[in-house]
Amino acid sequence: MTNHLFDPLFGRHAGSTAPFVTPKGGAPLSYAAFLDLSARMAHVFDGLGLKKGDRVAVQVGKSVPALAIYAACLRSGLVLLPLNTAYTVAELEYFLGDAEPGLVVCDPAKADGLQPILPEGATLLTLDATGAGTLMEAADKAPADHAPLPCGPDDLAAILYTSGTTGRSKGAMLTHDNLLSNARTLAELWRFTADDVLLHALPIFHTHGLFVAVNVCAMAGASMLFHPGFDLDAMLADLPQANTLMGVPTFYTRLLSDARFTRDATAHMRLFVSGSAPLLAETHEQFEARTGHRILERYGMTETNMNVSNPYEGERRAGTVGFPLTGVDLRITDPTSGDPLPDGEIGMIEVRGPNVFKGYWRMPEKTAEELRGNGFFITGDLGRVDEDGYVSIVGRQKDLIISGGYNIYPKEIEVVLDEMPEVLESAVIGLPHADFGEAVLAVVVPAPNTSPDPDALLEALRPQLARFKHPRAIRIVDALPRNTMGKVQKNVLREAFATTPA
């Protein structure tokens, strides 16, 4: 009896003294030591009475023990629910209520805030960025041998929440095989081996940092330099020890902004991968001119893992995301009728393959709207396939802002603004931003006989929404532009405020 994901990803490294993860400024941890840590944690989870399929919600800073929770969940057949550290208690209340985890792990500083919103019967354990807290206290006392629970390809490994156009977040259910198939494909396509050292500075609560970066490394037996976040000086300092980097476009524009990032400083590097948001062709070209390397851009989503990638060998074409991955079917359809369109035409990108999720947690209607009976997932991204087979993303049908690689659904902010007594209605748009790609601007129509102060409105958003979702500015207008159907014309707002520094 095997554990479909754990065994090939982690289990096969049992006893290996090869380095797996080196925390910034710390000593390398071998695969064997990491496996021991995850085994101890799995014993703690089992001891709490958690059963296969139970959810484990985790909102903690990035650290090696935080990563070990992922491996421990796999061992015990539990479903990891990683949560952005920026989420407020108000946001967490929804996730915990919806997913009903049996265990919540949080930073000790947040424990008091979370206690009142814990689901019935759930346990709360703590873990801080240094590894201290009740989880490690218990794990330190547990044995380091743990037999992974048998799990099949269709068993759930994780639920990742993604916001939606209605403002309500949906939990994307990812199976063992969704993650395993994608890790295998990417490790092979991007030529990862045990000789690779990845500079890892992405958060580990999203697909990119957790499943793309960590799973690809573990699949290949590679190692990671684990940085708690993106710090330019620290990145440049550790670059000589690494040979690969995965990042969002903001990583690359920030690196390019520093004169120390030169051809010499990158001469030893094997691969730079970009994704999660569009990489401007201009950035791609500047990067090549500066370093001689062509960034490899790929395209993915929480629901689908990675779908499309530029080639390792062959032309990495700027402004495109490359070719569908092995095993992934990609088609372009008419956004209204759903009928497939011929190559070259712009339409909805739909994808099908072993990487595509199982559906939204407890939302069968939402699942049916976005995941067709024939297995194609309707991505909400608009694109085309050129005569050479390269896929380009030309826009989004979904009303979504991507800021520094984080998805921000305008509806979620509009709902909160609209509830404020001084706001009649609001529209939230994304404007171009040099660092984050896009930044949030809110346009507000005051309620009758009020004159809201934008700073006061921003302050009122603070306890409700994670900081990265906050508008960079609020503009007050008399009315929102609408089309004949009464729909707010966000394109008109984007043009009107195009020059507003956001």
Q: Which residues bind ligand AMP (CB under 6 A)?
A: 162, 207, 275-278, 297, 299-302, 321, 379, 381, 393, 396, 402, 407
Q: Which position among 40, 55, 170, 206 is part of the footprint of ligand MLC (CB under 6 A)?
A: 206
Complex with ligand MLC: residue 50 or 413, whichever CB lies closer = 413
- 502 Cβ partners below 8 Å, 6+ apart? 431, 433, 439, 440, 441, 471, 472, 473
Q: Which does 250 bind (CB under 5 to 8 A by kind): ligand AMP, ligand MLC, none?
A: ligand MLC
Helices (H) and strands (E) in the chain, counts: 17, 25
Number of residue whose CB is nearest ligand AMP: 302
Q: Is 316 in the site for ligand MLC (CB under 6 A)?
A: no
Complex with ligand MLC: residue 182 or 276, whichever CB lies closer = 276
CA distance 266 to 185: 26
b/e string for 174-193 if b means 16 or more Cβ within 10 A?
bbbbbbbbbbbbbbebbebe
Complex with ligand AMP: residue 112 or 435, whichever CB lies closer = 435
Q: Is 432 in the site for ligand MLC (CB under 6 A)?
A: no
* Pairing assessment for the beta strands 437-446 and 423-433 based on DSSP bridges: antiparallel
Q: Is 153 in the site for ligand MLC (CB under 6 A)?
A: no
CA distance 448 to 425: 11
Q: Which position among 175, 182, 207, 291 is part of the footprint of ligand MLC (CB under 6 A)?
A: 207
- Smallest separation (angstroms) from ligand AMP to the CB of 164: 10
Q: Which does 53 bind (CB under 5 to 8 A by kind): ligand AMP, ligand MLC, none?
A: none
Q: Which does 248 bind (CB under 5 to 8 A by kind): ligand MLC, ligand AMP, none?
A: ligand MLC
Q: Which does 278 bind (CB under 5 to 8 A by kind): ligand MLC, ligand AMP, none?
A: ligand AMP
Q: Is 202 in the site for ligand MLC (CB under 6 A)?
A: yes
Complex with ligand AMP: residue 299 or 436, whichever CB lies closer = 299
- Smallest separation (angstroms) from ligand MLC to the CB of 434: 12
- Least Cα distance to 249 among 292, 286, 212 occurs for 286
Q: Is 248 in the site for ligand MLC (CB under 6 A)?
A: yes
Output the CA–CA distances (angstroms, integers) from residue 347 to 285, 332, 340, 376, 392, in the order listed: 27, 5, 9, 14, 11
Q: Which stretch binds ligand MLC (CB under 6 A): 13-21, 22-30, 58-66, 403-411?
A: 403-411
* Pairing assessment for the beta strands 347-352 and 329-333 based on DSSP bridges: antiparallel
CA distance 198 to 216: 10
- Least Cα distance to 170 among 400, 367, 308 occurs for 367
Q: Is 82 in the site for ligand MLC (CB under 6 A)?
A: no
Q: Is 359 in the site for ligand MLC (CB under 6 A)?
A: no
Complex with ligand AMP: residue 209 or 278, whichever CB lies closer = 278
| CA-angle at 301, arms to 296 and 306, nearest 5° | 45
Q: Which does 162 bind (CB under 5 to 8 A by kind): ligand AMP, ligand MLC, none?
A: ligand AMP
Place of tokens 């796999």: 74
DSSP 163: -
Phi, psi of 229 (to 5 degrees): -170, -170
- 58 Cβ partners below 8 Å, 6+ apart? 66, 69, 80, 81, 82, 83, 104, 105, 106, 205
- Smallest separation (angstroms) from ligand MLC to the CB of 33: 26
Complex with ligand AMP: residue 275 or 471, whichever CB lies closer = 275
Q: Which stretch binds ligand MLC (CB under 6 A): 20-28, 199-207, 315-323, 327-335?
A: 199-207
Q: Which position among 260, 268, 462, 467 is part of the footprint of ligand MLC (CB under 6 A)?
A: 467
Q: Which does 393 bind (CB under 5 to 8 A by kind): ligand AMP, ligand MLC, none?
A: ligand AMP
In a 3-state reduction of DSSP, which class is residue 37? helix
Q: Please name the amino acid found at residue 64.
A: V
Output the CA–CA distances (angstroms, integers) from residue 113 to 106, 275, 453, 462, 468, in the order listed: 10, 34, 29, 15, 20
- Assess contact for 308 and 381: CB atoms under 8 A: no
- Smallest separation (angstroms) from ligand AMP to the CB of 356: 13
Which residues sit at the interface with ligand MLC, rule CB under 6 A?
202-203, 206-209, 229-230, 248, 250, 275-276, 300-302, 403-406, 436, 467-468
